Structure 1
Amino acid sequence: MTNHYVEDYSPGRGALTPRAWYPLSDAKALSLNGSWRLRVSPTADAEDDSFAEPGFDAGDWARVVVPGHWVLQGDGCFGRPAYTNHRYPFPVDPPRVPTENPTGDHLRVFDLPEDWPADGGAVLRFDGVESCARVWLNGTDIGEFKGSRLPHEFAVGHLLERSGNVLAVRVHQWSAGSYLEDQDQWWLPGIFRDVTLLHRPAGSAGDFFVHASYDHHTGRGTLLVDSDIEGRVTVPALGIDIATGETVTVPVCPWSAEVPTLYEGELTTEGERVPLRIGFRTVESADGLIKVNGRAVLFKGVNRHEWHRETGRALDLETMRQDVLLMKRHNLNAVRTSHYPPHPAFLDLCDEYGLWVIDECDLETHGFVEQAWRDNPADDDRWTPALLDRAARMVERDKNHPSVIIWSLGNEAGTGRGLTAMAEWIHARDTSRLVHYEGDGSCRDTDMYSRMYAGHAEVEQIGKELDGGTRKRRELPFILCEYAHAMGNGPGGLADYQRLFEAYDRLQGGFVWEWIDHGIAHPGLGYAYGGDFGEELHDGNFVCDGLLFPDRRPSPGLVEYKKVIEPVRIVPDGTGGSVRVTNGYDFADLSALAFEWSYQADGETVASGSLSVPALAPGESADVKLPQPPAGHEAVETQWTVRAVLAADTAWAPEGHEIAWGQIPVAARPLPVLRPAVRPVLGPVAGDGVITLGPAAFDARTGAPKAIGAIEVSDLRLDVWRAPTDNDEGTDWLTGSCDAKLWRDLGLHRMRHRLDAVEPGENALTVRTRVAPAASEFGLTTVYRWTSDGDRLRLAVSVSPDGEWPAPLPRLGVRLALACADTVRWFGAGPGEAYPDTKSAARLARHESTVDGLQTPYLRPQENGARADVRWAEIGGLRIEGDPAFHLTARRWTTEQLDAATHLTDLTPGDTVWVNLDHALHGIGTASCGPSPLPQYQLRAQRAEFSFVFSQLH
């Protein structure tokens, strides 16, 4: 390949016209996946083309697995991954790319199976190659292509031999196409999707388009199959047997993401039988809303990059299925395929299990924002053929999937004539779907108004139709194609967004960014992110911003999202004896669900049973009477918990899988107080450098506790610092402020504690301090007051701000060290972590964990693991009760060590367990990309009083 092709504007040469994708039987499809020979050269012109000739000896070449990325194989000997968010990792000089252009020459020798048909032709198909490829078969140059995440096919039947076929593919890391693929992900060259040889006999189906609409007024579906080749279409379950091009209307069950009804059919031509899976549904923009089958839909979605911690964007079918099952089990109903069409099998799974899909074109030119969009390919006519080629390859491949209801032109590609040309072509080719693009605020080319990371207040204004803009934009439905940046601890504010979506019809939901952390498995770091491979230009751990950890374990953010978007609402009805159940589905009634109740006393379930709930239609509510509370629990905190679970196995989850839940308080908790003394209690007693008070011993000089009973305690003091989260480190899109920078500039990470007085009194030990950062005149006047009833110890903390505090506090509470601790039990919210704006999924109950189990393994270590609304906790031999309820955190390393770590492997557990008992925490927000915590979740420096009662466990 010459540099002329690599650096020209064209999409390629030699490839067949794009067509619909469908699976063929093994008898008609030969997979060429597996072991290939590879030679990587540092530049695009370092080697000649002789390797493509039959008889070339590649015996000394390395072996790699296809599908795969060569930089993720060979332990780094083929090069290394590189991550940038939007900056191009090469000079911006379109369409040219550097001479230092890693080039992988691939070789595969194959024989045809003995039963390979001798008649007809054959097609060689590539489903994904990054970033461009030139292909030879048996020494013949058959073509070139760009468009990494798009299919390309070549007619090769005339070149095939029965044995010894030599397939040669030259892949360049960089090409002109790279300017169109700047998509906030690792740059990973290679043949990363399937390579397949397809038998195409005479008379086989070429391209075909299944039109299957649904009339919600009549309950009937209309089927028409357009085909390049004449044939017949049969759908046995519907009694359909028609010729291609003919139309038939019959009663059907419609397809939706909630009830994904598919009808098995077949397209028969002279040369083959093509399996069809037909879903009847109609998509339209009507009354200012996105409607499917006549009903407005509320998207509870996620953006999904394709990712695997070991194989990158090379995903097998079971990994794709795992993604879909996890989405369904966490109440998601939609996915945006950011920012390219996915592997075609993924859309089959969306059809089967039920997910609304925004199918996005393989287009992003975000790096041109660095030069104010000058020379942006989206507004340069020389690039328009390439843009149209990408649009066509997406639409033609995926047009027969009922799950795909919206086409997206791409992502963050500015504005311009090329995007308009794409929109016009798509609208003309497919009138059955809508078109999306976020980057043009005028909505000139789109059927909806789409935004990223708009704050709550602005979203509400849009919901109220007070947002201004063009007349067309004001009349369009609105979605947040990206919101709630799931980077590290968070995202916060999900419930507040959802309340807006459900309050205003125009707001049709959104898609959280994003599905999975793109951490790469690394032997020394656990997981690597940007910069860990020596990249000269990178964007750090911004590539780790998913609801799943790289091993596909759900993060607390996904657990929170599941609760926030649950399709059944269970809330108190206000009378105390009933619960209100509301069906939040768009299409399904509640007949598939069973309801269960349980009754908790002091967090422990003391009774349970089933609850009869009618099969409510979408949008309907009912007040359901609860049974009489069991007697004998009047002196403790009590509540009901009502759960909605699957009544039977489904394709995506087993019977009993929890869909939704709600808790209804009955009696409030009695506050912890010291018991009346059964014997005279002495006040603080000083002696030999120690002050004793009840079960505790204090340092007489500092007033700090040394032990409570037999339990060693040390370093108890006020604490206001946390290891900043990724969202703390972000810059608020609305205000331009960064919490972590403010905190560090103010010195909150290095507070100093001045001891003002240790005052043993008649009944109490009082310790007065001032806590303040160096170089500042403001601080916190803090008073610790200790009392005891002889067996238990009470600490009352009073905090008063001193001076003007220009920023919120990260936290406010006390920190102490225990010599040893392992098991942790608590009555409070759980079982997972929760912060002020991320605690919808935290369920009030008794919970148990280990100290290590309390940690959340965010790839970049940061504040994590707090348990909220804790009434009491037992740890390290102590029982701790709070007034009011508190946040509990326990770790085998200090906050300072957590703050200094860049990877989990930097954290070495020690013998000491550091415990935070927090009166309040600052919220999380989503400022890593979006807004900071809402005002109601910000921890302002103001007067506060809180207390804890300590006792030794026996």
Structure 2
Amino acid sequence: MTETRKPAYLEDFAPSSGARAPRARFDGDAPALDLNGTWRFRMLPGAPAGTDGFERPDYDDSGWEGLPVPSHWQLHGHGAPAYTNVVYPFPVDPPHVPDENPTGDHRREFDLPEDWPEGAAALRFDGVDSCFRVWLNGTELGFSTGSRLAAEFDAGHLLRPGRNVLAVRVHQWSAASYLEDQDMWWLSGIFRDVTLTALPERGIGDVAVHASYDHEDGTGTLRVDVAGSAEALVSVPELGLVDAPAGVEHAVGPVEPWTAEEPRLYDAVVAAPGERARLRVGFRTVEVSGGLLRVNGRPLLLRGVNRHEWHPDHGRAVSRETMREDVLLMKRHNVNAVRTSHYPPHPDFLDLCDELGLWVVDECDLETHGFELVGWRGNPSDDPRWREAYLDRIARTVGRDRNHPSVVLWSLGNESGTGRNLEAMAAWVREHDPSRPVHYEGDRDSSYADVYSRMYPPHDEVDAIGRREEEATDDPGADAHRRGLPFVLCEYAHAMGAGPGGLEEYQELFTRHERLQGGFVWEWIDHGIRRREPDGAEWFAYGGDFGETVHDGNFVADGLLLPDRTPGPGLHAYKKTIEPVRVVPDPAAGTVGIANTWDFRDTSGLVLRWRAEEEGVPFAEGVLDMPVLGPGADADVPLPGMPEPPGGGEAWLTVSVHLGADQPWAPAGHELAWGQARLATGRHGAAGTAGAPGPVGTAAPAAGTEGALLRLGPGVLDTGTGALLSVGGLPVGTPAVDLWRAPTDNDQARHGVSVEVPWRAAGLDRITSRRLSAGRDGDAYVVRDRLAPAGADFGMLVAYRWTAEGGRLLLDVDAEAEGEWPCPLPRFGVRMDVPSSLGGVEWFGRGPGEAYRDVDQAARVGRFASSVDGLQTPYLRPQENGNRADVRWAVLRAEDGTGLRIDGDPVFGLSARRWDTAALDAARHPHELVPDGRIHLHLDLEHHGIGSASCGPGVLPAHRLAAGRHRLRLGFSPAAPTP
């Protein structure tokens, strides 16, 4: 029998061989060669022990394909992506890996510039997944693991004038894969930059910047340690520091401190005899004192997001332009912090955080979550054989990123249980960089962490933690230690599909309790992979779409951004929740309350605008005097006298805060915050309550049908069936009570408590109707039905009362639940259909975007216009979406100007689609939804809240929709022609 052989390093606990000690990336003037570009590539099904000589310079690779570097080979037609959240896609048998181990061989020829200096050089790989072995000109340099960590090899002794050949073998699976189970697509290859850099004699081998700030006297202390040259000098001309010796503390100042709100950077130069380097220095001091996480003496309130690196076409091979787009979007949506889940990002991202201003929790490239499914048996975190690999990962994280002032916490990793290796990592950090506290969520007692961190606790538990009264453990000493620490939610508010709900209630707790220092919404972007159908239809794939036998479906689509970086409704809600300035207009008092919620900056440079609108049409506006308020301060600003709305309609005052001048992250005029208050109720009100009901109308026989037609104002009903036939001659479907919605990801609750399961068990997706009666009741026509699902003894009695008044057809729906309902209702409203030509939508209510009762904070009252297609939110898995809240009136209009107007008494929720709820419920992807020739309207009284139960708490009690007494009143009329 022939023994199957594979390279020993694939199943080695050692993290690397031949790699140089980790060091920071810096902007030096030593010659460098960018080795990105098109490489020669071949795919092997396994990991052979031999190489067949592909590393030799004279190897003939003419039959190989071209592959861009950086990239993932699965996104270029070699193998397929696979997504899992927790489970390893291979047997849990550490350190062993499958024999079926896709392996990519890469070759790159490059010419060394004629002026390249002789001597040492470093070959740097910024990211290779998951294990790679490298040769230069036929000689092996070594191997390395740690996919999202930089690795360097000594290369100078092998370089030749002219042509050089670099060969790299990359394996999808290695022992290191057990440490990289990070809730993301399994993608392989050289996905970050490859660079060759000369190492001049007496140059800068490494540099470490220590720049602290004394908030009491406003001065800074600077020490720059330089490895490789004892003669290095440091200059910061702006501070008067010129040619000062490295390795020595220098008092400088006064200095302007670095904060995420005002990211002040100073240009510095480090000069060694053989090399000069440019640095950007930010002065700030991070500490945990008095039970709080503080920067420059002030407690932080983190309004953060978790960010995986992602691009829908390139995976984790993300360009600097895309990184900048992410940071700009974060800043423009009031986000002030990012946790680099669950690995250090590309170093360019941290440069942008330094420049534009974000607090960063820099997380080590570590997660062993799959061991939880086997009871944490064999978890590497407590196995001494893995100690070197754990320490190597944290050393490479800190070594690369320590010079970034944006980094305020080191995170040891994510969901890796607990154990001695994590303790050793924390000890290593404290020894080598005591200037930053340590974060780790997986140790519930926080015995080796400096902050107490949790994922997805419900609001009542967060409230108890804020009071330092969280549930006790068996160790009083551990309890006392933990309760003395600041609290951070490293993950909360799971942004999967519609939602997340509960954001404002969390933020209120953060404001109430100083111990609660904010948190990080999960997560920034949906990891959809762009696909195109032959007809050009574009969609985004998720787990299972590539034939994976083990996968976690669309759980990879849980971001505030859609994959193409379109902000989702959840991001708009989050922006409103975490506004840096609170605005509370009070027209009755003649003031607007302004509160500065920034931690460091005042409100100077901001502009305060007001605008009065009648039914969404502006009739007065102006600018208020913006007070200069320090952090945490508030004031009341006088409002001018408000004119009466010219038409006597419903009027609203909007007061908003804007940037007064261009900022690096947004232009002048960008809106930071807003608040609204009603000015006048106006003439708009009850549909059908403005006067006595009009006459019922006359009945006339309908030829060829049973019964008769009944005209009520602009409406025509069939008295034989009780059906509504038309409004103003427009054929429409009969409004019918609807209790069902296509469950959202948070309704389904893959990792929470599902409400979809009891909904379907109760049969709410298959309600049947039984007619009790239909006929005239005075001036009204009344239809009475009983709704109930098969097999159930509970139901709902519904009365539809039709009348006419003032040129409108009025509908009063009165429903009452009977029996014991086992669950809340998904919704209460009516559904009806109208011709597909009515594709334009205008409404007066809240908008412009989607809103549900616990995710409605970003929706302001106004007049808005869209199309039926534009009302949809294309979540990667189709689900309930697109509701517009508190609509007073809405008009659906055809291109010729004809249409249907719907009035609320006083308001209703509006959604309109070109497919029905059953199709929405059945579809797996948006491109599978096919228009069926009608527009399906939902006119809702209420919805059950959204919550965050896809991975977190469910809907708060205030937002649950219990079955009970429900009354919805609407008016229908032909739409007035457009001007």
2:461 to 458, 461, 468: 458
Q: Which moved more, 1:893-902 or 1:107-116?
A: 107-116
C-alpha distance after superposition, 1:164-194 (max 9, x if no partner): 2110000000000000000000000100000
Partner of 2:14: 10
- Answering whether residue 505 of structure 2 is matched by residue 496 of structure 1, we say yes
Query: Do the aligned partners of residues 266 and 699 (structure 1) sit closer, same or farther apart at CA in structure 2, a change above 3 Å counting?
Result: same
Letter in 2 for 1:418: N
User: Matched residue of 1:777: which SS?
Assistant: coil
Letter in 1 for 2:51: D
- Answering whether residue 106 of structure 2 is matched by residue 97 of structure 1, we say no
Partner of 1:217: 216
C-alpha distance after superposition, 1:603-631 (max 9, x if no partner): 22111111101111111111001111113
State the alpha-carbon separation in 2 of the partners of residues 683 and 119 from structure 1: 100
CA positional deviation for 1:790: 6.0
State the alpha-carbon separation in 2 of the partners of residues 788 and 528 from structure 1: 50
State the alpha-carbon separation in 2 of the partners of residues 83 and 678 from structure 1: 63
Give 5+ residue unaligned stretches, structure 1. Answer: none
Q: Are 1:884 and 1:946, in contact at CA under 8 Å, matched by a contact in 2?
A: no
Partner of 1:841: 858
Matches within 5 A, 1:385-400: 385-400=388-403
Letter in 2 for 1:203: R
C-alpha distance after superposition, 1:467-496 (max 9, x if no partner): 044111001000100000111111111111
State the alpha-carbon separation in 2 of the partners of residues 46 and 698 from structure 1: 80
Partner of 1:111: 111
Query: Do the aligned partners of residues 698 and 46 (structure 1) sit closer, same or farther apart at CA in structure 2, a change above 3 Å counting?
Result: farther
C-alpha distance after superposition, 1:404-444 (max 9, x if no partner): 01000000000000000000000110111010000001101
Partner of 2:685: 671
- Answering whether residue 207 of structure 2 is matched by residue 190 of structure 1, we say no
User: Matched residue of 1:418: which SS?
Assistant: helix
Partner of 1:595: 608
Query: Do the aligned partners of residues 677 and 455 (structure 1) sit closer, same or farther apart at CA in structure 2, a change above 3 Å counting?
Result: closer
C-alpha distance after superposition, 1:9-65 (max 9, x if no partner): 00011011101111345x711110010011111111175241001100000011100
- Answering whether residue 835 of structure 2 is matched by residue 822 of structure 1, we say no
Q: Which moved more, 1:702-711 or 1:536-545?
A: 702-711
Letter in 2 for 1:239: G
- Answering whether residue 395 of structure 2 is matched by residue 379 of structure 1, we say no
State the alpha-carbon separation in 1 of the partners of residues 693 and 846 from structure 2: 36
State the alpha-carbon separation in 2 of the partners of residues 497 and 350 from structure 1: 25
1:905 to 898, 912, 927: 927
Q: Are 2:835 and 2:933, in contact at CA under 8 Å, matched by a contact in 1?
A: yes
Q: Are 1:683 and 1:762, in contact at CA under 8 Å, matched by a contact in 2?
A: no
Partner of 2:344: 341
Partner of 1:61: 64
Q: Are 2:687 and 2:904, in contact at CA under 8 Å, matched by a contact in 1?
A: no
Q: Which moved more, 1:469-478 or 1:635-644?
A: 635-644
Give 5+ residue unaligned stretches, structure 2. Answer: 473-478, 894-898
State the alpha-carbon separation in 2 of the partners of residues 685 and 506 from structure 1: 70
State the alpha-carbon separation in 2 of the partners of residues 805 and 703 from structure 1: 28
User: Matched residue of 1:364: which SS?
Assistant: coil
State the alpha-carbon separation in 2 of the partners of residues 447 and 699 from structure 1: 72
Partner of 1:320: 323
- Answering whether residue 739 of structure 2 is matched by residue 720 of structure 1, we say yes
C-alpha distance after superposition, 1:65-120 (max 9, x if no partner): 000011100xx3x100111001000011000001100001110011012332x233
Q: Are 2:696 and 2:803, in contact at CA under 8 Å, matched by a contact in 1?
A: no
CA positional deviation for 1:732: 6.8
State the alpha-carbon separation in 1 of the partners of residues 676 and 765 from structure 2: 38
User: Matched residue of 2:27: which SS?
Assistant: coil
Q: Are 1:684 and 1:760, in contact at CA under 8 Å, matched by a contact in 2?
A: no
Partner of 1:694: 713
CA positional deviation for 1:691: 2.2
- Answering whether residue 768 of structure 2 is matched by residue 752 of structure 1, we say yes
Letter in 2 for 1:681: P
State the alpha-carbon separation in 2 of the partners of residues 454 and 789 from structure 1: 52
Matches within 5 A, 1:158-557: 158-228=157-227, 229-230=229-230, 231-241=232-242, 242-250=244-252, 251-469=254-472, 470-524=479-533, 526-557=539-570
Letter in 2 for 1:661: W
Matches within 5 A, 1:29-68: 29-45=32-48, 48-68=51-71
Matches within 5 A, 1:794-833: 794-820=810-836, 821-833=838-850
State the alpha-carbon separation in 2 of the partners of residues 612 and 337 from structure 1: 40
Q: Are 1:825 and 1:847, in contact at CA under 8 Å, matched by a contact in 2?
A: yes
Query: Do the aligned partners of residues 679 and 57 (structure 1) sit closer, same or farther apart at CA in structure 2, a change above 3 Å counting?
Result: closer
Q: Are 1:732 and 1:932, in contact at CA under 8 Å, matched by a contact in 2?
A: no
Aligned residues: 946
Poorly superposed stretches of 4+, deviation over 6 Å: 675-680
Letter in 1 for 2:456: Y
Q: Are 1:893 and 1:914, in contact at CA under 8 Å, matched by a contact in 2?
A: yes
CA RMSD of aligned residues (A): 1.5
State the alpha-carbon separation in 1 of the partners of residues 55 and 409 from structure 2: 41
State the alpha-carbon separation in 1 of the partners of residues 926 and 50 from structure 2: 42
Letter in 2 for 1:282: T
Partner of 1:86: 86
State the alpha-carbon separation in 2 of the partners of residues 345 and 559 from structure 1: 26
CA positional deviation for 1:895: 0.7
Partner of 2:476: none
User: Matched residue of 1:327: which SS?
Assistant: helix
Query: Do the aligned partners of residues 680 and 168 (structure 1) sit closer, same or farther apart at CA in structure 2, a change above 3 Å counting?
Result: closer
- TM-score by structure 1 length? 0.98
State the alpha-carbon separation in 1 of the partners of residues 891 and 403 from structure 2: 58
CA positional deviation for 1:873: 0.8
State the alpha-carbon separation in 2 of the partners of residues 768 and 844 from structure 1: 35
User: Matched residue of 2:855: which SS?
Assistant: coil
CA positional deviation for 1:731: 5.1
CA positional deviation for 1:259: 0.3
- Answering whether residue 627 of structure 2 is matched by residue 614 of structure 1, we say yes
Letter in 1 for 2:771: L
CA positional deviation for 1:761: 3.0
- TM-score by structure 2 length? 0.95
Partner of 1:72: 75
Query: Do the aligned partners of residues 676 and 30 (structure 1) sit closer, same or farther apart at CA in structure 2, a change above 3 Å counting?
Result: closer
C-alpha distance after superposition, 1:587-618 (max 9, x if no partner): 01001211110011222211111110111111
State the alpha-carbon separation in 1 of the partners of residues 637 and 647 from structure 2: 23
Letter in 1 for 2:735: L
State the alpha-carbon separation in 2 of the partners of residues 330 and 892 from structure 1: 31
User: Matched residue of 1:326: which SS?
Assistant: helix
Letter in 1 for 2:657: A
Identity of aligned residues (%): 56
- Answering whether residue 901 of structure 2 is matched by residue 879 of structure 1, we say yes
Partner of 1:869: 886
CA positional deviation for 1:919: 0.4
Q: Are 2:587 and 2:639, in contact at CA under 8 Å, matched by a contact in 1?
A: no
State the alpha-carbon separation in 2 of the partners of residues 462 and 678 from structure 1: 57
State the alpha-carbon separation in 1 of the partners of residues 52 and 623 from structure 2: 72
Matches within 5 A, 1:779-790: 779-789=795-805
Q: Are 1:684 and 1:763, in contact at CA under 8 Å, matched by a contact in 2?
A: no
Q: Which moved more, 1:43-52 or 1:673-682?
A: 673-682
User: Matched residue of 2:881: which SS?
Assistant: coil
